[in-house]
Homo-oligomer: A and B are copies of this chain.
Amino acid sequence: MSTIVLVSDDDASSEVMSVYDDIRTTRGTDFINNFWRALAVNPALLSSTWYHLKSIMTVEGAIDAKTREMIYIAVSTANACSYCVHSHTAAAKAKGMSDDEHAELMTIISLAASTNQLANGFQVPVDPEFLVE
């Protein structure tokens, strides 16, 4: 009654293998992390998730690639997604996040969470100044 199945290369259908190949080419590494191997139990889910993520995280955009990964870490930390914190911390480091940037990111996430609680805990009303043009 396993709740976790990871699709190895040997067990991959051609549809799954095609996505694995694109992940490898896009990232320039042979390594496929477990997230994708878990989604591969449903090839359509694997495919739509990968191409959606690829279209956001690997193209030129208004925000640079390293910063995108740092924002990803922030959301994953707030959502208590252990897997995602691990994988996106690795990704951010691979894209150049320094130890100082990592520590400062943690500091900001931690500060934001603390003032989120104060605003929610005191139920501070939104200032009209924030709502008008």
A57-96 interface code vs B (CB 8 A; 1 in, 0 out):
1000111000110111111111111111111111001100
Cβ–Cβ contact A1 & B132, under 8 A? yes
Size of the A side of the interface (Cβ < 8 Å), in residues, is 82
B39 and A82 form a contact (CB under 8 A): no
**A118 and B57 alpha carbons, distance in the complex (Å):** 17
A77 to B124, CA, bound (A): 12
Partner of A130, one of B49, B80, B87, B117: B87
Q: A1-B90, A49-B114, A75-B112 are in contact. List 17 more A-B contacts (CB 8 A).
A: A33-B129, A33-B130, A38-B118, A49-B110, A56-B108, A75-B116, A78-B78, A80-B120, A81-B119, A84-B115, A85-B121, A85-B123, A87-B126, A88-B112, A106-B118, A110-B115, A113-B117
